[in-house]
Structure 1
Amino acid sequence: MTQLAMIDDQIEQCIMELSRQAQSESPIPILLPSLEIMDIELKKYVRVQQHHLLKRMDDQLNR
């Protein structure tokens, strides 16, 4: 069996499993963090990136 055929077989198995899960009475819930948590983490990320950018700009000005 070629590698491509094996990958095709694995994809088919995944599709069948996803279909089975979608049709079950208790599908697996998708757990996402709350919007509040995502907002807090995004603000942290922006703050870190701003700090990094300011440091780089300051380093360039000091050269």
Structure 2
Amino acid sequence: MWRTAMSIYADLTALSGDALSTLGPVAPRSGRGVLKLVGTVLVGVGVLTWALRRRDAL
């Protein structure tokens, strides 16, 4: 789990300025980081679920 998290963090720090501005700023102690994380996870799980169901339907 920690390796995956560190890998994701390493990829985010290597992003260009345009990609980082797309993610948007997160103010400290505002809880927005958690909301962004939850939103990203939900979207990712939704896309993965859709892709797997589509694959299984073929």
The alignment's TM-score, normalised by the length of structure 1, stands at 0.47
RMSD of aligned residue pairs (Cα, Å): 1.8
For the residue of structure 2 that corresponds to 1:44, the secondary structure is helix
Query: Residue 32 of structure 2: which of 29, 33, 37 is its match?
Result: 37
Percent of residue pairs identical: 12
RCO greater where, 1 or 2, for CA within 8 Å and sep 6 or more? Answer: 2
1:46 aligns with 2:49: no
Greater Rg by CA = 1
Runs of 4+ aligned structure 1 residues displaced above 4 Å come to: none
The alignment's TM-score, normalised by the length of structure 2, stands at 0.51
Q: Which runs of 5+ in 1 are unaligned?
A: 1-30
How many residue pairs are counted as aligned between the two chains?
33
